[in-house]
Every structure is written in C-alpha cells, then in structure tokens.
C-alpha cells in the first residue's frame, strides 16, 4: 500500500536585487582593478582629456566667429590669419553657409531650397511614424516630391525658373539619396525574388547577371559611364540631363547591393513558411507579400539600414562628375582665395550635417527593430 | 489495379518519385473514399511524409497519376489552386506565421484565396478557434502559445478554408507528451464529424479509434493495408510485425 503525500507547491520568491555599486566602487572595480587596468585607464584618460581640452580651446575659446568687412564691403580675414593654427575661423561658415547649403542656386531664390530641405525632413519624420503606414502615405510622398520639383524648378506660380545645372548643396544630396533609395528598394526586392526564382530560369539568370555586373564595378565608374559614355550612344537632343543620369546610376548600384541583403532575409526563413503558404492556396505574390517579405525584411533591418547609411554618404561621389551636392558645394566654397586656408572648419560642418542624418537613421532602425521584434520573438 | 472509382476523394495510380538516385515512392496505388479516415504508418524514411506531401503537390511526383477530388495533379497551376483550396494540411512543425496574430493566421487565406469579407472570415475563425478550445488566444502571437495550442491553431487555420480533405503530416511528433492528447482529441472530433482524413502518425491508439484503414509503408512501397483490427492483431508480413513490435515496445 502506498500513501499519497499532499505536496504543497513552494511559493514564488522575488529575484534578489543586486546591490548597486556607488560610482567610486564602480570605478575601482572596472577601471582600476589591476595595475595594468589602472595604467591603461590613466593613459587613455590623459589622451582623451588632452584632445578634448585642445579641441574646445581651438573650436570655442581661441576661435574667431566673425570678421570685419572693409569700406567696400569686402571681408577682411586678418583676424582669422592671426589665430591661424590655434583657433578656428568660423567666419568662413558664417560667410559661406548659404553657398554650402544651396550651391549656385540663385541667392534670392534660396528660400525655396530651404523649404525643400524642410519638406524632406517632414517627409522623413512622417514616413518614420508607424501610425502613418498606410496607403495614403504613398499619396503624401507623391504630393511632397511634386512640390519639391515645383519649388526647385520654378517657372510656375510666379516662381522664377531655375535650370537644373544651378541646383546644388543639401537639396541635391537629399534628392539623390531619397529618390535613390525609394526606387532602389522596391527594385532590390524584385531582383532578390527573381534571383531565387525556381520556375523562371531566364529571370533568375538576368537577376544574377545584373547583381554580379553592377556589384563588380565601383560606383565612380558607373557614374562616369552615366555622365560621359551614355550620351555618346544617344541621338542628339534625346539626352536626359546629367542629374537624372547620375540618379539612375545610383539607383541601379544601390539596388544590386540591397537585393543581396534582401536575399539574405529570404534565405533565413524556414522552408515551412513557404510550404504553409502554398498549402493554404496562396498565389506567389500573396505568399511573398503577406508571409515571406514581412518576415524576411524584418530580420534584415540592421544590414538594410547599414546599406542605406552607406548610400546616403556615397551620393557625395557625384562630385567627380560635377554635380553640386553638399560636398561639392563645400569644396567650391573653399575655392575663394580668402578662405582657402580654412578647409578644416568647412569639412567639420559638412561632417556634422552628414552625421546628423546617418545618426538619425541608425537610431530609428534600432527603435524599429525593437518595436517589430516584439511580436516575432519565438 | 481496379479503375479509379468516381466517388473517391483521392486516387493514386502507380505513383513514383525519386530524390536524385533515391527511389522514395515505388508504384504507390491507393484510393481514399469520401469521409474515409486513413492512417499511414511506417518506419522513418519509408516515404510516408513524401506520399502525403505529393497529394497537395508540395512534392512533385514523376510518374503515375494523382487525382484529388476529381482533378488531376499536373503542372497546370489553376488545377493546383483548386486542389489546394480544398485540401487542408497540418504540419509536424505547425508552420504558423509568427508575424501574424492567431486570428490573422486563420483569416488570411479565406480573405485572400476565398475572397471572403473580413468580418465573415473572422466570425468563421472565431467559431473554429472555439471548436479547438482556444478562442481566448485569438489576439496573441504564435510565439506566446504552447506547442499543443499552436498545433490546434494550425488545425483551425486549415479548417477555416472549409476543406473537403485534411492531410496530417505527423501532427503530434513535435509535441511534449502531455500535449499530444489535446491535439488528438481535436482530430478525433474532426473525424467524428465526417471529414475525409489522411494522417501520417505513429499514434496507434488514434489509429485504432478512428481509422477506417491503416496503410503500412516501408522502403517507399505500400507493404500492407487493412482495418486497424486486422493490421494490429493479425499482421501478415514480417516487416509489419517487426515494426509493430518496435513501436509497441515503448508503450
């Protein structure tokens, strides 16, 4: 005979809290744990401090913010020349910021460029918010991009016409990267799907050739081809302008890289997902659109954004075919004799602008990963 | 082989399939009548999963004919769409869509394939989720459910398409022992309602209880078939005897 023991489950206890270290205690264990650790901490601390102090001294304390102009209205850079090597000459930015931001766009019309930049920023912010992710967003894009076109070209609504070769600065960088990625991404998805096609060998072959060819050449050579070689093959008068040709080159180049990223996402999905969709009778496009791509793209957000950031900066390569993007404008601004010596200041400002955009993209992708990952955690 | 009778739900005639040099299905001929419940068993690698996956063309057979619900399986995509709409499938690894809620998993195919209005699809889905006894999980994601619950959702998802035939490919093999029963109970109630079912399973208790016929496969061919009683009490071939002794040893 066996007797039954009535087992009472053990009550749950809270996890014990770790005693939090005070800042001093933290520093002692993490920074000065051993002799070597202490030495490295001291050495790194010394160099960091020295660099920071030097930079602040140069950028803020000994720097010159404005320079006097003489009776004729010409700027006199003497003040900058005196502190040269010890302090920054921000006067060059003060004098040239409009040229750097808008390039050779007519001075009196540059407010249009400013609105274009603001519109682009608004577009990015709206597109980033999940609550706007619906069909209407496509109309917003079309509306804003049309407005941007109208503002840049003018010629209607009493706006002065500005030919495309006068466009420049940040608007050009934003146009090239926004249109570039907006067209490259859908193209990349199609190419990635084509490359994995099992039923259409011809499509697969074309996609593979496209990816291999485009990925195998530098963007610079593609841009050269677009700007120099392409017009040779076209009949006179039937030649799209340089900006459009560069834009197409960037789209084709970006799409080849993005396609491989997307393909990685497609490969990461278990075969069962494809089979379950097939077994339910979904068509190929329903299966891809509803089941496969939503999951595949989610998993590749980090490399996708990595590629986006890379391409945002790569648009600056249009410099070599003479398109006035942000970097070119900065370079040309420095061509003025009195400012030639102050390239550091200008390049720092350009770096800061590029950094702001790239940092925003990186932060946004982190948030997006976290938000979308919530439902899929298995 | 007798000519395929018109009333049969599934007819296979001399079906052959190879994976490279591997001859996985060898002259398989069988038919499944309307409302018939078939259990296919056999050692691993015997071709039973491949066979059931050929019925809705997740695998493509190379010789022979397969006729499902009066439509022959060929490269014709439209015929395939018709068949897949009417044949539900439940997988060993559930294969729920992890990015969709339980309810969305169930309504997706009716909305997109059957063009059912969303409200109606949701009503049907909730009814079937109630039937598999998990209506309260409708708003959760698959990752938040236990294996047994996920498999019951997978059954409900297939049923939402109102299929005429249900295929089960080892539906309980990936489950913990205490969850097997809840899935089998669901399948038993489905069988009692008169669904045409083909199940690949090792659950002999289930076979005894619901199967009209048991088919034993080994090395890509049908070795023996008959009622559960005939098969389990009086196996004719040494291969089935060996298989039964191996499978029952653990029970």
Q: Return d(Cα B105, Cα B93) in angstroms, integer.
A: 15
How many residues does this entry show for chain B?
251
Q: Would the pLDDT of A1 be above 70?
A: no
Q: Do B98 and A378 touch (CB under 8 A)?
A: yes
Does the pLDDT at position B200 exceed 90?
A: yes
Which pLDDT value is given to residue A240?
A: 67
Does the pLDDT at position B217 exceed 60? yes
Angle at alpha carbon of residue A127, lines to A126 and A129, rounded to 5° = 70
Q: What is the mean pLDDT of residues B16-32?
A: 91
Of the candidates B82, B141, B138, B90, which has an alpha carbon nearest to the alpha carbon of residue B113?
B82
Query: B168 - beta bridge partners?
Result: B90, B199
Tokens of A203: 């499509």
CB contact under 8 A, A275 and B58: yes
Identify whether the C-beta of residue A83 lies closer than 8 Å to the C-beta of residue A63.
Answer: yes
Classify the C-alpha dihedral A223-A228-A233-A237 as positive or negative: positive
Q: Please report which confidence band the pLDDT of residue B1 belongs to, taking 50, 70 and 90 as the band edges.
A: very low
Give the ipTM. Answer: 0.90
Chain segment A157-174, per-residue pLDDT in tens: 777 787 777 788 888 888
Average pLDDT over residues B186-190: 90
Residues of chain B contacting A290 with CB distance shorter than 8 Å = 108, 112
The vertex-A325 CA angle with A322 and A330, nearest 5°, equals 95
Q: Which residues of A touch B54 (CB under 8 A)?
A: none
* Whether the predicted pLDDT of B4 surpasses 70: no
Give the pLDDT of residue A238: 63
- Residue A158: predicted pLDDT: 74
pLDDT in tens, B116-152: 999 999 999 999 999 888 899 899 999 899 989 999 9
pLDDT at A378 over 50: no
Contacts of A285 in chain B (CB under 8 A): none
Smallest Cα distance from A276 to chain B, Å: 6
Share of chain A above pLDDT 70, in %: 93
Half-sphere exposure of A294 (CA within 13 A, CB side): 15
Residue with tokens 């063009």: B115
**β-bridge mates for residue B19, sequence order:** B22
Residue A280: list chain B partners with CB under 8 A: 84, 108-109, 113, 157-158, 161
Answer yes or no: do A291 and B85 touch at CB < 8 A.
no
Q: What does pTM read for this prediction?
A: 0.82
Task: Give alpha helix (H) positions in A66-169.
Answer: 78-83, 91-102, 110-128, 136-153
SS3 A159: coil
Q: Output the six-digit token pair for B131.
A: 């039937």
- Chain A, nearest residue to B163 by Cα: A280
The predicted pLDDT at position B250 comes to: 55
3-class state of residue A75 by DSSP: strand
SS3 for chain B, per residue?
CCCCCCCEEEEEEEEEEEECCEEEEEEEEEEEECCCEEEEECCCCCCHHHHHHHHCCCCCCCEEEEEECCEECCCCHHHHHHHHHHEEEECCCCCCCCCCCHHHHHHHHHHHCCCCCHHHHHHHHHHHHHHCCCHHHCCCCHHHCCHHHHHHHHHHHHHCCCCCEEEEECCCCCCCHHHHHHHHHHHHHHHHCCCEEEEECCCHHHHHHHCCEEEEEECCEEEEEECHHHHHHCCCCHHHHHHHHHHHHCC
Residues of chain A neighbouring B94 (CB-CB closer than 8 A) = 272
Look at the alpha carbons of A205, A208, A210, A212 in this order and tell me if their dihedral is positive or negative: negative
Q: Is the CB of A24 inside 8 Å of chain B's CB atoms?
A: no
Chain A residues with CB-CB distance to B141 below 8 A: 375-376
Judge whether residue A143 has pLDDT over 60.
yes
Q: Do A279 and B85 count as a contact with CB atoms less than 8 A apart?
A: no
- B93 interface with A at CB cutoff 8 Å: yes
Average pLDDT (A266-271) is 91
Choose the closest CB to B95 out of A276, A295, A376: A276
**Nearest-by-Cβ selection for B95 from A275, A376, A378:** A275
pLDDT (average), residues B150-173: 92
% of chain A residues with pLDDT over 90: 17
CA distance B162 to B1: 32
Spatial CA neighbour of A274 closest among A258, A287, A257, A256:
A287
pLDDT at A5 over 50: yes
B88/A contact by beta carbon, under 8 A: yes
Task: State phi, psi for A282 to the nearest 5 degrees.
Answer: -70, 145
Of the ranges A13-27, A46-60, A179-193, which one carries the lowest mean pLDDT score? A13-27
A286 in contact with B, Cβ within 8 Å: yes
Q: What is the average pLDDT across B5-30?
A: 87
């Amino acid at each position: 005979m066996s007797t039954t023991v009535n087992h009472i489950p053990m009550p749950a206890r809270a996890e014990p809290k770790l005693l939090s270290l005070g800042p001093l205690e933290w520093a002692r264990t993490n920074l000065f744990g051993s002799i070597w650790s202490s030495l490295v901490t001291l050495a790194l601390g010394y160099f960091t401090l020295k660099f920071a102090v030097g930079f602040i001294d140069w950028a803020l304390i000994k720097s010159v913010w404005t320079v006097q102009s003489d009776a004729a209205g010409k700027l006199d850079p003497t003040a900058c020349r005196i502190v040269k090597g010890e302090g920054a000459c921000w006067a060059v930015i003060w004098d040239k910021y409009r040229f750097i931001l808008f390039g050779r766009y007519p001075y009196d019309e540059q407010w249009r460029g400013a609105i274009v930049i603001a519109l682009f920023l608004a577009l990015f912010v709206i597109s980033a918010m999940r609550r706007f992710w619906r069909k209407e967003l496509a109309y917003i894009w079309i509306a804003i991009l049309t407005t941007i076109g109208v503002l840049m070209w003018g010629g209607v609504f009493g706006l002065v016409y500005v030919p495309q070769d006068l466009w420049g600065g940040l608007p050009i960088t934003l146009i090239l990267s926004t249109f570039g990625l907006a067209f490259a991404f859908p193209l990349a998805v199609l190419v990635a799907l084509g490359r994995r096609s099992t039923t259409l060998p011809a499509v697969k072959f074309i996609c593979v050739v496209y990816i291999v060819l485009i990925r195998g050449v530098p963007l610079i050579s593609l841009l050269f081809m677009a700007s120099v070689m392409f017009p040779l093959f076209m009949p006179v008068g039937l030649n799209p302008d340089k900006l459009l040709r560069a834009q197409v080159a960037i789209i084709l180049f970006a799409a080849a890289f993005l396609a491989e990223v997307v393909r990685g996402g497609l490969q990461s999905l278990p075969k069962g997902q494809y089979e379950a969709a097939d077994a339910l009778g979904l068509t190929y496009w329903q299966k891809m659109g509803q089941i496969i791509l939503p999951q595949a793209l989610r998993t590749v957000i980090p490399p996708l954004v990595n590629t986006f950031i890379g391409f945002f900066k790569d648009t600056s390569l249009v410099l070599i075919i003479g398109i006035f993007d942000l970097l070119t404008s900065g370079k040309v601004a420095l061509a003025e004799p009195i400012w030639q010596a102050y390239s550091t200041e200008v390049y720092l400002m350009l770096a800061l602008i590029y950094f702001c955009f790239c940092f925003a993209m990186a932060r946004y992708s982190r948030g997006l990963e976290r938000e979308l990952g919530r439902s899929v955690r298995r | 082989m007798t000519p395929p009778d018109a009333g049969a739900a599934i007819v296979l005639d001399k079906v052959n399939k190879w994976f490279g040099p591997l001859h996985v299905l060898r002259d398989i001929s069988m038919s499944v009548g309307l409302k018939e419940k078939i259990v296919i068993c056999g050692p691993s690698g015997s071709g039973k999963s491949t066979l059931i996956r050929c019925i809705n063309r997740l695998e493509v057979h190379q010789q022979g004919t397969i006729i499902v619900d009066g439509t022959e399986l060929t490269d014709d995509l439209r015929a395939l769409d018709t068949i897949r709409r009417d044949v539900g499938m439940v997988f060993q690894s559930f294969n729920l869509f992890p990015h969709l809620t339980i309810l969305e998993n169930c309504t997706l195919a009716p909305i997109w394939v059957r063009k059912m209005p969303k409200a109606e699809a949701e009503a049907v889905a909730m009814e079937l989720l109630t039937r598999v006894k998990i209506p309260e999980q409708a708003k959760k994601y698959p990752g938040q459910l236990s294996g047994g619950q996920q498999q019951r959702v997978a059954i409900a998802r297939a049923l939402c398409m109102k299929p005429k035939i249900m295929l089960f490919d080892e539906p309980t093999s990936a489950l913990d022992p205490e969850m097997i029963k809840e899935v089998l109970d669901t399948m038993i109630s489905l069988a009692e309602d008169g669904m045409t079912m083909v199940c690949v399973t090792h659950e002999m208790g289930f076979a005894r209880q619901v199967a009209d016929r048991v088919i034993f496969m080994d090395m890509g061919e049908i070795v023996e078939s008959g009622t559960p009683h005939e098969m389990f009490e009086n196996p004719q071939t040494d291969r089935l005897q060996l298989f039964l002794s191996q499978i029952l040893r653990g029970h």
